[in-house]
Amino acid sequence: MARQSAGRYLWIKTPAAPESTYPVTPQSLGAMVEQLYSEYPELYDAIQSEWDYDRDVAFVTERLDARELAGTELLEVGCGTGEHTKRFVDAGFDVTAVEPNEGMLSLAREKTDATFHTDGLPGFDIGREFDVILAIRGVINHLVPGELGPAIETLETHLAPGGVLVFDNSPLPPEGNEAALDVGTYKHGQYARVVQMTPIDTGQLSWDSLVFTPDGEFFIDSYDMTPFEDVTIAATLSQHGLAVETVAGYGPDDSRTVFVAG
């Protein structure tokens, strides 16, 4: 398999005619785009199984304790399949969680007793304020550059006086990266995934994955992510009247920049 990055498509070699190829674009596959989120949330969990969710939750609770924040009303934006959500519920928070992908949200609902909404940034209205607002694991990076300001405004609008906002900026390489192979096993069998980030004209990265499932099927995920600069995010927070603290990761093994604002 070879990928021609300039055109944002994959050349797939057919079993019947191994010497011939045909292009498969995210656009030509229509509903197959982002199937990992919508159709295979359990596979997403398997791919992300080594992520240290407990570390992230500990980081947040330690920051809240340091600020002597007494409130427990927590809004989680981009909750995914609910791995962070269930841990915050278990820690005693009254959690409202927002996620635009119904497939992931359905799995999150099975894991924990929180209040869930199908929605996402840059704009939504829950109708009330929260003591803590979280957007963990690159939620901000799913925005196009022009949506950063409106997204921060949405978060600030939902933040109660004296509340704390915590989110991160993923260290995405603006120049893209080489294709990488990930092979693993979960309860349905073995999967394989080839993933690559490629620069596109908007200044974003096209995050493209070719995923092979245990039942012999394959699908393509393709979505755009923005490699924001930390200074741009910090300036946008300040423009919305939020004092900003930046931290180098949720722990010593994390390369993200974490913003703690309020």
pLDDT tens-place string over residues 161-180:
999 999 999 999 999 999 99
* Confidence check: pLDDT of 206 > 70: yes
0.75 exceeded by pTM: yes
* Confidence check: pLDDT of 10 > 60: no
How is residue 16 annotated by DSSP? S
* Confidence check: pLDDT of 28 > 90: no
Residues counted in the chain: 262
For residues 135 and 233, the answer to whether their CB atoms sit within 8 Å is no
* Confidence check: pLDDT of 24 > 90: no
140: left (phi over 0), alpha (psi -120 to 50) or beta: alpha
